[in-house]
Amino acid sequence: MPESELSLKSMLIGDQWIAQESGAFDSVNPATGTVNFRISGATQAEIDLAVDTAGRAVRQPAWRDMLPHARAALLRRMADGIDANAEVLARLQMIENGKVWSECKAQVASAAATFRYYAGVCETLCAEVTPPRGNYLSMTRYDPYGVVLAITPWNSPLTMEAQKVAPALAAGNAVILKPSEVTSSPALELGRIALEAGLPPGILNIVTGLGARVGGPLVQHPGVRMVSFTGGTATGRAIAHAAAEKLMPVALELGGKSPHIVFADADQDAAIDAVIGGIFEGSGQSCVAGSRLYVQQSIAQSFIERLAARAGSLRVDLPDAERAQMGPIASFGQRERIEGMVEAARRDGAQVLLGGARPGDERLARGAFYLPTILAGLKPDATVVREEIFGPVLCALTFEDEDDLIAQANDSVYGLASGVWTVDYRRAWRIAQRLEAGSVWINTYKQLSISTPFGGFKQSGIGREKGITGMRLYQQSKGIYFGM
């Protein structure tokens, strides 16, 4: 469709859909290079309006005094709305970030499940009566912050949005959601679903726009009381600086460079499948991607050869193709970055065991595709070993023994996730204790449960999402004393 015929998608503030051309931008399909939509971009006027609207809505008795079971019922209706609109939501994600259809569908189902989980938490989480030290009754209750800002990335937009919006609403806040400019549409759809479910207007606002122009001013706004951010480490650091000026709490889910470890005694077939899924699913654009492979030296050569052969048969295709296993990179800019990093590694002497190029298939030539890539012969201080690539690029490395492995695996500024393959449960336990990572998977990889807290060590983040902790993130405790 020619750009002039594209209608401008509006943002949601209160119950108003507001079109704003002056900061507008294109949503591009990375599988085809065509423009999907034009999306409104907030100016300072919409930013101020959103914060003011959310601030007024959160103080309304209708929301402030809503009993937990009624709030839970609302969250369940939102979950039902997500299920009822599953095809639309999955398709919007697919045409904006290029994930394969089956994964898009699974992520929509998981977003609905997240709303149901926090409905349960909302209804059952208790305040506490604390032991008195005198003639009084003392208790701790948990208050919302007020206006919470949620900023999300493009790789799994709806998953991240559900993980922030559901607990923040369950906790009694109003939310301003600023989705990534690459994937604004699923968030806008979520806003519509929330209104239809009966969420009071202003309790969930979707403010679209570019990061620096809209995300930055929202973080700095005096009316915003807490920020929950998922994205790159550099952006997280900038947000933490701005939050420090306001002395505002932040939750940061940031990047990773996760080690995936295979001992000589491992079930090698299962490990190969997991290593492939761990790095190539979602074209490697996952914060927990197992991007550093460490194989014990005695099996390294044969293991890596078999791995490369199996990864070479992955089907890279249009995301809605029936048997597609890997779609495109989410944007052309991101593919350029990945290509630049692989070329630099090549110049530094890396061996390219697999991929390292765009696919030759003519049908894919207009999209931002890149082949599954395995690099070897790398020095531990090579940029590709140290920096997050956020693409389908695996660095294959080796280790001698447990001490050597731990030294290499922990030699990273990141600490998000890790995986260990061994049949020796004592060793698995020792390694799990020594790894500096927020998640350790043993004889499995990328298993995630909404009830288990998730987050990063070191520069991979601050705070934990999911589970009960993930709701407490959006509350502040208050001690109340009744004199007796």
Which spans of this chain sit near ligand NAD (rule: CB under 6 A)? 151-155, 178, 180-181, 211-212, 215-216, 219, 230-232, 235, 238-239, 253-256, 287, 388, 390, 416, 456, 461
Question: Of the listed 287, 436, 446, 466, which one is catalytic?
Answer: 287
User: CA angle 189-193-195, nearest 5°?
Assistant: 120
User: With respect to ligand NAD, which residue has the nearer C-beta, 42 or 72?
Assistant: 42
Report, in Å, the least distance between residue 454 CB and ligand NAD: 7
Could you tell me if 370 and 335 are in contact, meaning their C-beta atoms sit under 8 angstroms apart? yes
Report, in Å, the least distance between residue 248 CB and ligand NAD: 13
87 is catalytic: no
Measured CA to CA, the distance from residue 395 to residue 365 in angstroms comes to 26
Could you tell me if 399 and 408 are in contact, meaning their C-beta atoms sit under 8 angstroms apart? yes
Report, in Å, the least distance between residue 457 CB and ligand NAD: 11
253 is catalytic: yes
DSSP lists the bridge partners of residue 138 as 130, 481
Q: Are strands 457-458 and 414-415 parallel, antiparallel or unpaired?
A: antiparallel
Q: Which amino acid is at 55?
A: G
User: With respect to ligand NAD, which residue has the nearer C-beta, 120 or 232?
Assistant: 232
Could you tell me if 18 and 205 are in contact, meaning their C-beta atoms sit under 8 angstroms apart? no
Measured CA to CA, the distance from residue 97 to residue 91 in angstroms comes to 10
Report, in Å, the least distance between residue 31 CB and ligand NAD: 18
Query: What Å distances lie between residue 67 and 74, 119, 167, 353, CA to CA?
Result: 11, 12, 15, 59
Query: What does the DSSP 8-state code read for residue 412?
Result: S
**Cα-based torsion angle of the residue sequence 453, 455, 458, 463 in order, rounded to the nearest 10 degrees:** -80
458 is catalytic: no
User: With respect to ligand NAD, which residue has the nearer C-beta, 172 or 255?
Assistant: 255
Question: Of the listed 253, 281, 388, 436, which one is catalytic?
Answer: 253
Q: Provide CB contacts within 8 A for 16, sequence distance 6+.
A: none
46 is catalytic: no
Question: Of the listed 9, 99, 105, 164, which one is catalytic?
Answer: 164
User: With respect to ligand NAD, which residue has the nearer C-beta, 285 or 296?
Assistant: 285
Report, in Å, the least distance between residue 461 CB and ligand NAD: 6
User: With respect to ligand NAD, which residue has the nearer C-beta, 122 or 287?
Assistant: 287
Q: Which amino acid is at 30?
A: P
Measured CA to CA, the distance from residue 381 to residue 398 in angstroms comes to 14
Report, in Å, the least distance between residue 146 CB and ligand NAD: 19
Could you tell me if 152 and 160 are in contact, meaning their C-beta atoms sit under 8 angstroms apart? yes
User: With respect to ligand NAD, which residue has the nearer C-beta, 252 or 314?
Assistant: 252
Report, in Å, the least distance between residue 455 CB and ligand NAD: 7
User: With respect to ligand NAD, which residue has the nearer C-beta, 42 or 122?
Assistant: 42
DSSP H/E element including 175: strand 174-178
Encoding tokens for residue 202?
């202003």
Which residue numbers are catalytic? Answer: 164, 253, 287, 465
